Amino acid sequence: MIAAGLGFRPGCAMEDIVQLVVEAAERSGHRPALLAAPWFRDGPVLRAAADRLGLPLAIVDEAALLRAQPFCPTRSDAARRAVGLASVAEACALAASGPGALLLLPRIAGANATCAMAGLSPLATPDTTRP
């Protein structure tokens, strides 16, 4: 399963999220099967973006985001200060894609949101020790 992991600031518009997910899909060459976002950003804007994209929404809990941190190549001091995690979008994508997931597109950033794509490679043997 391919997941588009999201991170976004309070006040981010639904259109910003939609545009960034579309861009991430184009850059990666993969269409996500779901959107994944952290538990602390669940809300109407996120649900509206999922509806607009026609994708189910997975809300990723804190424990899963913490388990994914070592596998996230992109680190943000701003995110660490704001939410206590160095990587949000990449961690959401990896956690929601399941054990053995790999990043297909590291975090890309828009004005108010970030997006990363992760999924299982058909050529890879799943590593069940990963998030």
pLDDT digits (tens, 9 = 90+) for 10-57: 889 999 999 999 999 999 999 999 999 998 877 899 999 999 999 999
Please return the burial class of 7, using the count of CB atoms within 10 Å of its CB with bins 0-12, 13-18 and 19+.
buried
Residue 82: alpha-carbon gap to chain centroid: 17
pTM of the model: 0.88
Beta bridge partners of 6: 115
Name the phi and psi angles at 8, rounded to 5. -160, 155
- Where in the chain are the domains? 3-119
Hey, what are 127's tokens?
């590593």
d(CA 99, CA 40): 23
Q: What does the pLDDT look like over 54-92, one tens digit per residue?
A: 999 999 999 999 999 999 998 888 878 777 788 999 999
Instruction: State the Cα–Cα distance between residues 61 and 30, nearest whole angstrom.
Output: 25
CA atoms within 13 A on the CB side of 91: 25
Pick among 2.40.260.10, 3.30.870.10, 3.30.420.180, 3.30.460.80: CATH of 3-119: 3.30.420.180
